[in-house]
Structure 1
Amino acid sequence: MTEQKIDKRVARTKTRLKEGLADLMTRKSIQEITVKELVEYVHINRSTFYLHYSDISNMLENVKRELIEEIAEVMESYPPEPFSEESVVFMKDVFFSLGSNRKLYRSLMGKNGDPSFVQQVEDLVGEKCLTGLKRQFPNEMNMLKYSYRFCLSGCVGLIRSWLQKDPEDSETPEEMADMSFRLIMSVIRETHPRIRR
């Protein structure tokens, strides 16, 4: 068997495990999910699970790390300027990333999710935005930091609501990016009239 076929098989197995874990997390907390339950749910052998992960906690940490790395990759490809012309494109790419892993994000940000993961995502996005704000508006930061925090929390709430919807009935990543940008800009312009971009 070629290495490419093995890699594809491994990727498929990991995808099944991740989706199974996401499904189970909508019903119970991560502490209640066992390896036996997960492998039975996705119809694979326990030995196959242990080829990739040592236990459920180890799997969850790996999944979280992969998602954070993916978001970080998207962010690294854009300049840290929250009010540049690329802002909507940047947000669209973030929403595409969230949408392509919708089940996992929905589970991790849901009632049985992991608050530390939500905080990691918030910190990652927030750090980039704050860096951009400091560069663009160094003399406005005493007040802007409050608007920024308000917008960041609002965006997390918006993302949570969007992820809960059925993909067939929900807005596209482009629509969500446009909506998020308009909401952020309306807050910034209302609270900081000198910023008119």
Structure 2
Amino acid sequence: MSGKAEYKSAIRSRKMIRHAFIELLLEKDFEKITVKNIVERAEISRGTFYAHYSDIYAVIEEIENEIMGKTVEFLNDFKAIELIQNPRPFFLKMGDFLQQDIELFQKLVFAKEAPCFVVKLKDVLIEKILSYKETIQSNQERQAYILRVHFLVGGQISMYQDWLAGKIVCSLEELTESVSQIMIQGFKSYTVM
């Protein structure tokens, strides 16, 4: 088999594995999914699975990393000051992304492995918004800004988790608008400097 054909075959196998995993994740809890379930659903051998992934955790980690990559890509479209002055465009992009596969995101956020994923997401958002702190002159104001960023981003992530869990009953657009307004109000004193 030529190198190009092997490469295409590997890509195809990985897609089949991930697709089977996602289908299974939508049907049952992560903890109940086995390699056997995946290879049967993907109609591949165990050897093919292990040629690409060490275990099921590696599959979910790759999916989470892709989602994180997309989040970082969205964040890179904005400067920190834009995110604190008007985070709505960022949240709209993320909302559109969530809507593409809402069931998958619900499962990912509430799987037992999710705390790690949610923490990574929170850390990426915090890091981006904290980059603005360098423009703040006073050490005391800078420290207050750092605390505010952690508080507001943590609350925002929590609100989306609760929305995904059905604890907050509204449309994604309404949630996005509310979260945006909370963030704008929370950072108001830093945007009028």
Query: Counterpart in 1 of 2:98?
Result: 98
Identity %: 22
Unmatched 5+ stretches in structure 1 = none
Contact 2:25 2:33 in 1 (8 A): no
Offset at residue 72 of structure 1 (A) = 0.9
Q: TM-score, normalising length from structure 2? A: 0.74
Q: Which amino acid aligns with 2:94?
A: V
**Equivalent residue for 2:72?**
72
The separation in 2 between residues aligned to 1:95 and 1:101, in whole angstroms, is: 11
Preserved contact between residue 80 and residue 129 of structure 1 (Cα < 8 Å) = yes
Structure 2 residue identity aligned to 1:112: K
| Structure-1-length-normalised TM-score | 0.72
> Greater helix percent: which structure?
2
- Sort the Cα spacing of 1:65 and 1:71 in 2 relative to 1 into closer, same or farther, 3 A: same
Shift in Å, 1:102 = 2.7
Q: CA RMSD in A?
A: 3.3
Larger CA deviation: 52-61 vs 145-154: 52-61
Q: Give the structure 2 partner of residue 59 of structure 1.
A: 59
**How far did residue 10 of structure 1 move?**
5.7
**How many corresponding residue pairs?**
182
Instruction: State the 1:13 CA deviation.
Output: 2.5
Q: Tell me, yes or no, if the aligned pair for 1:22 and 1:107 is still in contact at 8 Å.
A: yes
Does residue 116 of structure 1 match 2:116? yes
Gaps of 5+ in 2: none
Shift of 1:187: 3.5
2:145 counterpart of 1:144: yes
> Aligned partner of 1:107: which letter?
K
Cα offset, 1:51, TM superposition: 5.7
Q: Any idea what SS the aligned residue of 1:109 has?
A: helix
How far is 1:36 from its partner? 0.6
